Amino acid sequence: MKTAIITGASRGIGKAIALRLSQDGFSIVVNYTQQKDQAEKVVQQIMHNGGQAIALQADVSLYPPVERLFKTTLETFGSIDVLVNNAGVSSIKPLAESDDALFDRLFNVNVKGTVHTFRQAALHLRDQGRIINLSSTAVLTATPGLGLYISAKAAVEALTKNFAKELRGRHITVNTIAPGLVRSEMFFEGKTEEQINTMAKLSHLERLGEVEEIANVVAFLTSAEASWINGQVIRVNGGTA
């Protein structure tokens, strides 16, 4: 049985990815930083459906916890075949009002966290494995207030192509999915119903995406059918940008 590590998988898109890949036969590592109870519920749901899963705490912005994440995964399941870099944080604040603390928070999780898992994947991911990163359609829309978040996700997209080349010869593909606005806990936080309805109309399909629609694309990229897709950014956004 193949094994997939999904960072930030206790809720939202990460949870949907964990459930979908479990359906496809993967043993799942549900990584979380603080939401232990939610992560354990994801594990229970997977096991109830006949799958295998464990929940492992690791703050990806710090390298030692990422080392432990990969070490424990190998000790538990024997191999690592897929890495999904889903863990991320966002904030809405104009650049002129931002500070170093906000910069560090966004770049430590979104960028440094991705680099940390890349370093471990280079050591431990099985040849012919798959790495899928999560970016954002906001990279193209240049939304005011999202400058630091957009910059961090743009760095993830640049790292994707670079790391795909660094893994040359191992038949490991590295790709990024950039979702549009998706119906998830993170999206709804701090928004009024009017704001939600307005934002839902931004895509040409005039609706929010569903977390399962993002998980479906992740599942495709882990499959044999996607073996010729490498170093790419796939924007799953209903035509928003």
- Of 149, 163, 176, 202, the catalytic one is 149
DSSP, res 54? E
CB 17 within 8 A of CB 5: no
Question: Quick one: which of 27, 35, 28 has its CA closest to 8?
Answer: 35
**CB half-sphere exposure, 66, CA atoms < 13 A:** 24
CA angle 172, 178, 182 (to 5 degrees): 130
Rounded CA separation 132/231 (Å): 10
Rounded CA separation 98/121 (Å): 33
Burial class (CB in 10 A: 0-12, 13-18, 19+), 225: exposed
Contacts of 59 (CB under 8 A, 6+ apart): 33, 65
- Catalytic annotation on 63? no
CB 194 within 8 A of CB 159: no
Neighbours of 11 (CB within 10 A): 18
State residue 53 phi and psi, 5-degree precision: -160, 155
Residues recognised as catalytic: 149
